[in-house]
Structure 1
Amino acid sequence: MSLSTENNVSQKALDDDLFTLSPRHPDSRLEADWLFLFNKLPPDQWFSADYAYKTSGWLKVHTNIRKRQRILTQISEGYQSGDYDWSAYRSQMLKRINMHVLKLHQHHGVEDEGFFPEFIRMYPQLQAGFEILGRDHLRLDALLDKLQVQNDMLARSEVEDKGLSEQLHQTLMDGTDLLSQHLTDEEDLVIPILGLRQG
């Protein structure tokens, strides 16, 4: 093969890649054949005038989840690096963790008991994808319960307890990794359903 032919083949491969939609992060657990709706309604259209009124509510909830998780992690990292004393750290963390745990448990409950079964009835071929998301909820809920126990300990710990703060920080980091993957996979599966359904 000549160099010019090889370059043309390479350019064609690059051009093809531009038009080959794939999940939005490389660690996605979604199978290619589950993305038939994602291919009809890719992320660059989720906030367009035709779809935003159906998709923006769910995406806003996820934005708030990510924001709360990020703020908690930043405060925890700030304490670890000496930016906060024990009293300021506790006052910043206690109510935020309680609210975050409550809202995430509520969100998972609404999805598990309402939305996910409805979506599976609409698209039975996506059941395996929703089962992945359901297993994520079990893992996330266990981490949230652990975080709540640690937060309750923090509420009782008026004397500085670096060991507790390190345990809490690790739980936040474990939750951040799982939450990031879960929310993106969920959006790639769910947002096109919301945007394309009638009514």
Structure 2
Amino acid sequence: MDELNFDTRIGLPEALRVLLAAHPRESWQADPNFHGLVSFWLERHMMFRRIMAHMQAETRAFLEADRDAAGFAQGIARYGGMFVNQLHGHHQIEDQHYFPLLRSKESRIEAGFDLLDADHHALDGLLNRFVKQANAAIQEANGPQARSSAGTLLAGLGDLERMIGRHLEDEEDLIVPIILKHGADNLG
């Protein structure tokens, strides 16, 4: 089904947006159940977006000769490692703790949890590719293939940003309305 395909979907299918209709994004911050788990969850997602943007900016600066090789390599190693480790940890907590509990609260959108789980598996492959690209760019930062490796990394970061962005937005549209409706009690 194309509307569920991670590579091509443009948002959650309509059948999975039933709670979002009752809890649209523009109302989230005013909801009494927003502060705490929801705001923390959204802050984590924003952190992932910011780290990706930072790595893209660092890579562009290196390619434009506005960033030295050592600084570029150190920055990508630091932020890349933090990004991958934090994202893996975030997904583990979701898969093993939050999603099973939230699934039991809203069985009518159970397919949404299957969708997010499939995303997590697809993202593992993208993250593995990112690690290889980042390592190549770091190792080659002072070498003859520095620009080529950094260019490959930048292209890979663009793909990663698009795919993770799609996943994060869909996850927010599915999960946040459930927590706003039912509260975060018994989730922590």
TM-score band, normalised by the shorter chain? 0.7 to 0.9
1:167 matched to 2:149? The reply is no
Structure 2 match to 1:30: 12
Aligned pair count reads: 173
Shift of 1:104: 0.5
Q: For residues 61-108 of structure 1, give each alpha carbon's deviation from its aligned partner in whole angstroms, at most 9, with x where no partner exists.
A: 111111111111111122222322322211221111011110011111
Shift of 1:58: 0.9
- Paired residues of 1:94 and 1:154 also in contact (CA < 8 A): no
Taking the aligned partners of 1:181 and 1:128, their CA distance within structure 2 comes to 17
Deviations 1:29-64 (A, max 9, x none): 322232221122111121115132242111111111
Q: Which has the larger radius of gyration?
A: 1
- Work out the CA distance in 2 between the residues paired with 1:163 and 1:106: 31
CA contact (8 A) 1:120 1:130 kept: yes
Letter matched to residue 196 of structure 1: K
Q: Please list every run of 5 or more consecutive structure 2 residues that lacks an aligned counterpart in the other structure.
A: 1-8
| Matches of 1:108 and 1:191, distance apart in 2 | 16
Task: Tell me, in whole angstroms, the C-alpha distance in 2 between the residues paired with 1:41 and 1:62.
Answer: 19
1:65 aligns with 2:42: no
> 1:111 matched to which residue of 2?
94
The structure 2 residue matched to 1:88, chosen from 38, 55, 71, is: 71
Contact kept? 2:130, 2:156, Cα under 8 Å? yes
1:183 shift after superposition: 0.8
Q: Does residue 176 of structure 1 match 2:158?
A: no
Fraction of identical pairs, as percent:
25
Structure 1 position 196 matched with structure 2 position 178: no
Change (3 A) 1:135 1:49: closer
Q: In structure 1, how many angstroms separate the alpha carbons of the residues matched to 2:177 and 2:10?
A: 16
Provide the TM-score with structure 2 as the length reference: 0.83
For the aligned residues, what is the CA RMSD? 1.9
Q: Which residue of 2 aligns with 1:126?
A: 109
